[in-house]
Structure 1
Amino acid sequence: MTNPQRGAVEFRAVRKDYGNFTAIPQLNLSIEPGQLVTLLGPSGCGKTTTLRMLAGLETPTEGAILIGGQDVTRLPANRRDVTMVFQSYALFPHMTVFDNIAYGLESDGIKKAEARKLAENGLDLVGLSGLGDRLPSELSGGQQQRVAVARALVLEPQVLLLDEPLSNLDARLRRRVRTEIRELQQRLGFTAVYVTHDQDEALAVSDRIVVMKDGLIAQDGTPRDLYESPASEFIADFIGEANVIDCQVLSVQGDMARIRAGGAEIGLPARGAGPGPAKLAVRPGAFRVAETGDGLDGKVATAAYLGDHIEYEIDSGAGRLFVVDDTSTTAFAPGTPVRLQFRGVGVALIA
């Protein structure tokens, strides 16, 4: 009978200490089958430790880890039904691509003929049919990464773990390979846990993003949730760019608040705020730059024409603000007084 929880992941009150240092104070996290969840955060935030505990490469100090409904906290890595794609690819340089993919299958006791058939299927999955006889050194970085993904997938794990899988690729290749990984995950429907420090990468591939800070979950949500409704100044600054400005909550009715910032008023989700001083996170594209009208008073400090948009730095009573205008092809000159009006999307109250 098929396990309905196959691919589900759960961390229950997991703590990880290294001597006197606590890397993960307490982690409670559930991942549904078929989701691609990214652990995102700055260096030292605990994301790699979390992945290594899930892989069985680290043992929690306290708590429990479940995969497919089974407690695997004390199981060794080779009995967890997970596979990992490493940052370094970890391909055997002396083996052909085909043999690299078949190696894990044969090590698991699968007969050679069946292993070869599954390896061929793996090459097909990642679009590398016909390249099985080459050595890894004869492939591009992107192709080597796809071999590493194929080698992991042919083992049909409950969960695929990806540890900074694109960090060794150049920017252009990273965009292409991340799209390929996401399309493959959606097509096959496997559960994946993806670790990266790259915000754009996380936004592009994830069903959910778990942002970590100091071993704790700072915010957990969809890419849109985190970008449009950051829960804190840390999230607003870490996920994309944001201008953080002072505001005043004038009133709250139900879930909505009336807010004044400078000479402008705007209605926004209250997110638990009450009347009084507060802060707004405003994305660079959430301002409209105008000569007159309501809004924040400002003066253009710098203006740069970039073809399909204009980037400004504007001095205001809220400090120097970074503004992206994609509605105009003519830039205001430095020194020009302007009004910054809120466009609605990309503005959020934060704690």
Structure 2
Amino acid sequence: MSVNKPGSVVFENVRKTFGAFTAISDLSLTIEPGTLVTLLGPSGCGKTTTLRMLAGLELPSAGRILIGGKDVTMLPANERDVSMVFQSYALFPHMTALDNVAYGLESSGLKRKEARERAEDGLTLVGLSGMGQRLPAELSGGQQQRVAVARALVLEPQVLLLDEPLSNLDARLRRRVRTEIRDLQQRLGFTAVYVTHDQDEALAVSDQIIVMKDGEVAQKGAPRDLYDQPVSAFIADFMGEANVVACDVVGTEGGEATINVEGHLHRVPGRNVRPGPAQLAVRPNAITLSARNGGAFNGQITHAAYLGDRVEYEVKTSNGTLFVVDPAVERALQPLTEVEISFKDRGIAIIGG
């Protein structure tokens, strides 16, 4: 089985309103062919509405949507070269896995024999060879998800859409199936648009992540860029927990900035940063705690929780309470311990004033 030439996706100044409520205000973005791009954000941010407009299940109130260079803005869902994997899988319970996968092919007019041959290829592609005669109830959640993916892929779409595809699976199975989806996308080279609210999921599968907030793009970029270089406190906290502390930028040189936090000086990446008050996003695992020894940035441990492979601390400082994750379980510190605070070289970023 093969897929059509992967298509690009373009949103041009797309707006979507529901009565007086604006779900998407002015969305412009481009998704390159052959990439897996994730729309990520909290509930109500507009990511699912964006996916539904791309699928043709909702029509935009303004703007244009193009797939593979073709304007599909007002086309119905069945005239767009896309396939969708739903959160609920939407398998027919009375039909076998093979019949579920072949259904769309037969509905499009393909002869039954050819449709079933392609459906068998689709099941083999997702690792379900020999399971075609099982009913959905006889398959695990992960296997049902793969049937849904196979059913979408056999239609050979330009773009595959996935709406919270792993939300019904347990944590261990989510990790395995997300790896399978990513491997499949890379092997076949199709364009995929993936919606989730799970940050780990987005980091694991994506070429690009588009973080949405209140119907707008808050930041987009490669997973590492969003994690290491958040542009706001919202992004820093949403892409993994972050402490936000006040600092002063005291100087810049060679793409780095020297910052002052409570008298503690540290150098961080800082292109286009101006001297003066700013905010610093600090990952919990980028903080080092040590016995107080006359250093400038001090605090007191107010809570310590041993979690097997790490200790989680809450540390009270004059700059607010910091959340710290330390893998050094052999030297766990106790509540009320006075500590000196310093930062590691990675996991901190200036996010503005």
**Under a length normalisation based on structure 2, what TM-score does the superposition of the two structures give?**
0.95
Q: Report how many residues are paired.
A: 348
Map of 1:39 onto structure 2: 39
**Alpha-carbon distance in structure 2 between the residues aligned to 1:300 and 1:104:** 60
Equivalent residue letter for 2:338? P
**Alpha-carbon distance in structure 1 between the residues aligned to 2:271 and 2:195:** 29
Cα RMSD over matched residues? 1.5
Equivalent residue letter for 1:182? R
Map of 1:225 onto structure 2: 225
Query: Does the alignment pair 1:145 with 2:158?
Result: no
- Paired residues for 1:258-277 under 5 Å: 258-277=258-277
Shift of 1:306: 2.5
**Alpha-carbon distance in structure 1 between the residues aligned to 2:201 and 2:210:** 13
Equivalent residue letter for 1:128? L
Map of 1:300 onto structure 2: 301
- Deviates further, 288-297 or 170-179: 288-297
Equivalent residue letter for 2:167? S
- Matched-pair contact (CA < 8 Å) for 1:91–1:136: yes
- Matched-pair contact (CA < 8 Å) for 1:295–1:342: no
Q: SS of 2:330's equivalent?
A: coil
Map of 1:337 onto structure 2: 338
Map of 1:16 onto structure 2: 16
Q: SS of 2:335's equivalent?
A: coil
Relative distance call for 1:219 and 1:72 in structure 2 (3 A) is same
Query: Does the alignment pair 1:326 with 2:324?
Result: no
**Alpha-carbon distance in structure 2 between the residues aligned to 1:127 and 1:329:** 43
- Matched-pair contact (CA < 8 Å) for 1:313–1:321: yes
Query: Does the alignment pair 1:167 with 2:200?
Result: no
Shift of 1:5: 7.7
Equivalent residue letter for 1:322? F
Map of 2:312 onto structure 1: 311
Relative distance call for 1:93 and 1:328 in structure 2 (3 A) is closer
Relative distance call for 1:161 and 1:293 in structure 2 (3 A) is farther
Map of 1:119 onto structure 2: 119
- Matched-pair contact (CA < 8 Å) for 1:295–1:341: no
Q: Summarize deviations over 1:44-84 as a string: whole Å, max 9, x none.
A: 11101100010011111111111111111111111111000
**Alpha-carbon distance in structure 1 between the residues aligned to 2:326 and 2:176:** 28
Q: Summarize deviations over 1:148-178 as a string: whole Å, max 9, x none.
A: 0000001110000000111111122111111
- Matched-pair contact (CA < 8 Å) for 2:6–2:189: no
Q: Summarize deviations over 1:160-207 as a string: whole Å, max 9, x none.
A: 000011111112211111111111111111110000111111111111
- Matched-pair contact (CA < 8 Å) for 1:16–1:62: yes
Equivalent residue letter for 2:335? P
Equivalent residue letter for 1:347? I
- Paired residues for 1:78-157 under 5 Å: 78-157=78-157
Map of 2:283 onto structure 1: 283
Map of 2:57 onto structure 1: 57
Shift of 1:98: 0.4
Shift of 1:269: 2.6
Task: For structure 1, list consecutive stretches of 5 or more residues without a partner in the other structure.
Answer: none
Relative distance call for 1:271 and 1:43 in structure 2 (3 A) is farther
**Alpha-carbon distance in structure 2 between the residues aligned to 1:247 and 1:60:** 43
**Alpha-carbon distance in structure 2 between the residues aligned to 1:94 and 1:306:** 45
Q: SS of 2:44's equivalent?
A: coil
Q: Summarize deviations over 1:253-290 as a string: whole Å, max 9, x none.
A: 35332111123212223253311111100000001111
Shift of 1:229: 1.1
**Alpha-carbon distance in structure 2 between the residues aligned to 1:225 and 1:299:** 32
**Alpha-carbon distance in structure 2 between the residues aligned to 1:222 and 1:113:** 43
